[in-house]
């Protein structure tokens, strides 16, 4: 398997933290680290680079050595969320114990710690992540019950005692809409001029691993 740029230049001591820059501007950020930030920190080891070319072949790329204890990952320019998830999965598979992700780049203090996520990923059984739960839903034939008056949680939009879904393109405010409905149901206030049935709300987020903290 091909190795990411500078992977073979990392310290032999597995307890030494490895720095990775990932994104469209990874090379420029890595150069800045070597010439400025890293030098100020007394670090002369070139960081691992995952630029566009490396991200395109991420599935067949070795990005970290086995048994490395800690990784610091900086977002450098544009990168797809799916690539971030893939990087996290590769770190877990390589046995990385702790990782910190900086989603706003090298000069931001915003940080996501992935320790628990990496631990969960390592604990999965082989094939578990591809397992699909088989669910059987009741089906009925005929028109019985179709003439009954429907009860609504949100009048005209969400029927009571029903399973509903919201679908749309990424960034189309699906999560915002779900959160808005949840707040109005929990308070019993009208939503968009529509009557709302007051009740308890359990908001469950299901997303690719490291995406969950961004929704909370």
The per-residue pLDDT for 137 is: 59
The per-residue pLDDT for 46 is: 95
What are 113-147's pLDDT values in tens digits?
999 999 998 887 555 555 555 556 555 555 555 55
Averaged pLDDT for residues 23-33: 95
Q: Is the pTM of this model over 0.95?
A: no
The per-residue pLDDT for 186 is: 92
pLDDT confidence tier of residue 80, bands split at 50, 70 and 90: very high
The per-residue pLDDT for 20 is: 97
What are 153-204's pLDDT values in tens digits?
888 888 888 888 888 887 788 888 888 999 999 999 999 888 999 989 988 7
Residue with tokens 């009048």: 155
The per-residue pLDDT for 113 is: 95
């Amino acid at each position: 398997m091909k190795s990411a740029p500078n992977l073979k230049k990392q310290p032999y001591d597995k307890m030494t933290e490895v720095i990775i820059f990932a994104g469209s501007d990874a090379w420029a950020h890595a150069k800045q680290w070597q010439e400025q930030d890293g030098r100020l920190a007394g670090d002369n080891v070139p960081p691992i680079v995952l630029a566009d070319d490396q991200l395109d072949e991420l599935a067949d790329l070795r990005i970290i050595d086995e048994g490395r204890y800690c990784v610091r990952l900086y977002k450098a320019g544009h990168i797809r969320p799916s690539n971030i998830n893939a990087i996290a999965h590769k770190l877990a598979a390589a046995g990385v114990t702790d990782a910190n992700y900086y989603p706003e780049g090298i000069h931001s203090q915003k940080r996501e710690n992935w320790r628990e996520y990496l631990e969960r990923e390592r604990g999965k059984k082989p094939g578990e992540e591809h397992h699909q739960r088989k669910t059987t839903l009741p089906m009925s034939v005929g028109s019985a019950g179709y003439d009954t008056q429907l009860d609504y949680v949100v009048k005209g939009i969400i029927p009571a005692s029903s399973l509903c879904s919201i679908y749309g393109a990424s960034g189309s405010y699906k999560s915002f809409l779900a959160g808005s409905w949840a707040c109005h149901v929990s308070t019993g206030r009208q939503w968009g001029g529509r009557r709302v049935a007051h009740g308890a709300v359990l908001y469950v987020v299901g997303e690719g691993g490291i995406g969950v903290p961004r929704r909370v």
